[in-house]
Structure 1
Amino acid sequence: MNTHPVRAALVAVALATVSGAALAHPGHEGASFFSGFAHPFGGVDHLLAMLAVGLYAARQPGATRWMLPAGFVLAMLAGAGLGALGFALPAVEAGIAASVLVLGLLIALAARLPVAASLPLVAAFALFHGHAHHAEMEGASLATYALGFALATALLHGAGYALTRWTPQTLLGDRVHRAAGAAIAGTGALLLGA
């Protein structure tokens, strides 16, 4: 199997996680894009949920594989738009933590929900993530900030997808995939309890 996409996704994730220090100084051109790009990497809740979407989507049939990540990104942008318009979502942090728990459980249980159920579920969680991204914007341009976090999210989805597709389709590979889901779900449960 060609591992170049896996390697590229992992390098992108690693570079993005260290970009925050370089952007901490004022005067950078496009700082709103880069602050938006860095935001999903700045919290374990966003990071795990976005990886989980890719991990989950990779084991789904047909078009669902791309519909779930694309739906998440679009709904996340809608959540940021709601925040920009002044609409408050209730319990945003709990919604984000629940997304980590539920997505982890779907992976751990190797669930295959119909797209009519999985897409609205993923989109609902994405609204919370987008709303939280907007709340952290701190005066940046919404368009460039949103472009940054949308791109970072897509890369995290791609990293989760690539890792899953790279994992051998064996009993051991399935156990590793499920264990990763269980660890994600456990983190979500801890976040909900915090």
Structure 2
Amino acid sequence: MIRSLFRTTWVAAALALAPSLAFAHTGVGDTHGFVQGFLHPVTGIDHVLAMATVGVFAWQLGGRALWLVPASFVIVMALGGAIGMAGVGLPFVEFGIALSVIVLGAMVALGVKAPLAAAVGLVGLFAIFHGHAHGAEMPENAAGLAYGLGFVLATALLHLAGVGLGFATGRLGDTKGPVWLRGAGAAVCISGFALALGAL
């Protein structure tokens, strides 16, 4: 599962973000852009909460959703990132990101067992906003493709952390595990409302 997720992640990132090379400034090392891209998701609490919760949500659904849900988020996010790098505007980005935290947190808190297609569509919708934010906020001195690969890898790792959290709480047993997991989902959901107020 993990190998499939990473293979999908790198292929999707390369295909979706290759056009962004046209918008990158020349003469800047790829390593610099990669580090900046990697740091963008992990230094924003809104991105961290949403992306880790995608992983928990995927674990909660189980089966093929365990890798399809995170992989779908990564693929669509990469496309959104390319759009942002191209300077194409997207309305309500910050509110969309906050809404993703609210909804994903609620899905985990309520233990929702969504159909696979619905889950993929839901995370894909939210991924557009996250990706656009990453791409639009790319520093002018960053190399486009390297920057994109950085935030794609960081996102995949946050998803894996969420999946790992799901497995860890699952080992607490049928009684304590769901309580801890749903409590965490509720906390994420409440945080999303605070983020939404800040986006207004």
My pick for the range that moved more, 99-108 or 167-176, is 167-176
Q: Which amino acid aligns with 2:36?
A: S
Residue-pair matches, total: 169
Partner of 2:17: none
**Runs (4+) of structure 1 moved beyond 3 Å?**
none
Deviation at 1:61?
Answer: 2.9
Partner of 2:184: 180
Deviation at 1:170?
Answer: 1.7
Deviation at 1:156?
Answer: 0.5
Partner of 1:93: 94
2:79 aligns to what SS in structure 1?
Answer: helix
Give the share of equivalent positions with the same residue, in percent: 46
1:192 aligns with 2:191: no
What is the distance in 2 between the residues matched to 1:118 and 1:54? 12
Partner of 2:52: 51
My pick for the range that moved more, 28-37 or 72-81, is 28-37
- 1:11-39 deviation per Cα after TM superposition (whole angstroms, max 9, x unaligned): xxxxxxxxxxxxxxxx9761100010011
Deviation at 1:126?
Answer: 0.5
Partner of 2:165: 163
Following superposition of structure 1 onto structure 2, how do residues 21-170 of structure 1 map, counting pairs within 5 Å?
30-139=31-140, 140-167=142-169, 168=171, 169-170=173-174
Quote the RMSD (CA, aligned, Å).
1.6
Q: Which amino acid aligns with 1:84?
A: M
- 1:159-192 deviation per Cα after TM superposition (whole angstroms, max 9, x unaligned): 1101111212421110000000000000001111
What is the distance in 1 between the residues matched to 2:144 and 2:71? 20
Q: Which amino acid aligns with 1:79?
A: G
Unaligned runs of 5+ in 2: 3-27
Deviation at 1:110?
Answer: 0.4
What is the distance in 1 between the residues matched to 2:62 and 2:29? 43
Deviation at 1:62?
Answer: 1.1
What is the distance in 2 between the residues matched to 1:61 and 1:160? 13
Deviation at 1:193?
Answer: 1.3
Deviation at 1:59?
Answer: 1.2
TM norm structure 2:
0.81
What is the distance in 1 between the residues matched to 2:136 and 2:107? 28
What is the distance in 2 between the residues matched to 1:151 and 1:29? 15
- 1:88-135 deviation per Cα after TM superposition (whole angstroms, max 9, x unaligned): 111000000000000000000000111121111100100000000012
TM norm structure 1:
0.83
1:58 aligns to what SS in structure 2?
Answer: helix
